[in-house]
């Protein structure tokens, strides 16, 4: 798969029909009325300060999931206050908060700046965790590296619990996805990918986030502590829940460096 390259059309125009979102229930829930959906998914977006992307993303993904006849709820998890972004921790929180509301078949963790291009990239979960956003224009439609597990991933509750969720200690950009991959590998679980031709994305792109200076060290050294850093040590407080038209926004208080 590494080295193959496809170049789909990058036009976003076809995704901007807001009418398509009108029958979504407040809070961002939808179920097809004409069939029994194969999956009911929670789409979880770790988020901070990306209004424009969020607008574009939700309008696109809703249209996309509807075309796949998948029932969905969209949760946006945002930390309160000036705090370094901790993507993995927000993902764990999103998982717990979604699960509190309903037992979803599949939890999909998604960057807000990635738009799927190919409808065959089915947003469901299987017996193995999935790396869903395999390649984008940012990497010239190539897989970054063999163990790349970033952008968008899909896991069942059982698969998430098996690795104790995600790390709480990785503040700043980078490495948390590598850590998730390592957690899975440590449990002898090998995630799966669709071919790049199917799992291609447009990356909307953004300014540089501050990188996590400790990521390499954390990835290398803390795997052995996987059962001491994750869902079982997660501390947060829900500050406010806002049911927006296209998604449920959950503001959370977490502690960490600013």
Separation CA 191–CA 189 (nearest Å) = 6
Chain residue at closest Cβ approach to ligand NGS: 174
Cα angle 177, 160, 36 (rounded to 5 degrees) comes to 115
- For 225, half-sphere exposure in the C-beta direction (CA atoms, 13 angstrom radius) is 12
Stretch that binds ligand NGS, among 9-17, 49-57, 137-145, 221-229 (CB under 6 A): 137-145
Choice between 93 and 114, CB closer to ligand NGS? 114
Three-state secondary structure along 157-198?
A: HHHHHHCCCCCCCCCCECCHHHHHHHHHHHCCCCCEECCCCC
**Contacting residue, 124, 147, 174, 256, with ligand NGS by CB under 6 A:** 174
In the stretch 147-166, what mask flags binding to ligand NGS with x, by CB under 6 A?
---x----------------
Looking at the DSSP assignment, which residues form a beta bridge with residue 240? Answer: 251
- Minimum Å gap between C-beta 258 and ligand NGS is 20
**Contacting residue, 97, 113, 177, 229, with ligand NGS by CB under 6 A:** 177
- Minimum Å gap between C-beta 228 and ligand NGS is 21
**Contacting residue, 137, 144, 233, 239, with ligand NGS by CB under 6 A:** 144
Q: Are 195 and 153 in contact (CB under 8 A)?
A: no
- Minimum Å gap between C-beta 138 and ligand NGS is 6
Choice between 225 and 251, CB closer to ligand NGS? 225
Helix (H) or strand (E) holding 130: strand 130-131
Residue 79 binds to ligand NGS (criterion: CB under 6 A): no
In order of 91, 132, 182, 209, 239, the CA distances from 189 in angstroms are 20, 16, 9, 30, 35
Q: Minimal CA–CA distance to 98: which of 78, 75, 118?
A: 75
- Minimum Å gap between C-beta 180 and ligand NGS is 10
Choice between 144 and 239, CB closer to ligand NGS? 144
**Contacting residue, 73, 167, 215, 248, with ligand NGS by CB under 6 A:** 215
Residue burial 121-140, b: 16+ Cβ < 10 Å; e: rest: bbbbbeeebbbbbbbbbbbe
**Binding region for ligand NGS (CB under 6 A):** 138-139, 144, 150, 174-175, 177-178, 215-216
């Amino acid at each position: 798969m590494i080295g193959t390259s496809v170049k789909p059309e990058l036009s976003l125009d076809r995704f901007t029909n807001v009418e398509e979102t009108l029958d979504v229930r407040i809070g961002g829930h939808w179920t097809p009325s004409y069939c029994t959906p194969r999956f009911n998914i929670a789409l979880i977006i770790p988020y901070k300060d990306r209004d424009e992307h969020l607008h574009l993303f939700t309008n696109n993904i809703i249209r996309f999931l509807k075309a796949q006849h998948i029932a969905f709820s969209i949760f946006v998890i945002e930390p309160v206050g000036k705090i370094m972004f901790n993507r993995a921790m927000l993902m764990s929180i999103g998982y717990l908060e979604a699960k509190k509301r309903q037992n979803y078949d599949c939890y999909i963790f998604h960057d807000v700046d990635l738009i799927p291009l190919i409808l065959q990239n089915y947003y469901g979960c299987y017996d193995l965790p999935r790396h869903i956003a395999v390649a984008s224009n940012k990497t010239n439609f190539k897989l970054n590296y063999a163990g790349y597990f970033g952008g968008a991933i899909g896991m069942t509750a059982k698969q998430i619990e098996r690795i104790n969720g995600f790390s709480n200690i990785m503040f700043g950009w980078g490495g948390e996805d590598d850590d998730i991959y390592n957690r899975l590998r440590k449990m002898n679980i090998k995630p799966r990918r669709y071919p790049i031709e199917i799992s291609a994305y447009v990356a909307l792109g953004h300014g540089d986030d501050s990188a996590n200076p400790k990521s390499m060290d954390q990835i290398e050294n803390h795997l052995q502590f996987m059962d001491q850093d994750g869902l079982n040590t997660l501390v947060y407080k829900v500050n406010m829940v806002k049911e927006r038209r296209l998604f449920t926004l959950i503001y959370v208080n977490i502690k960490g460096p600013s």
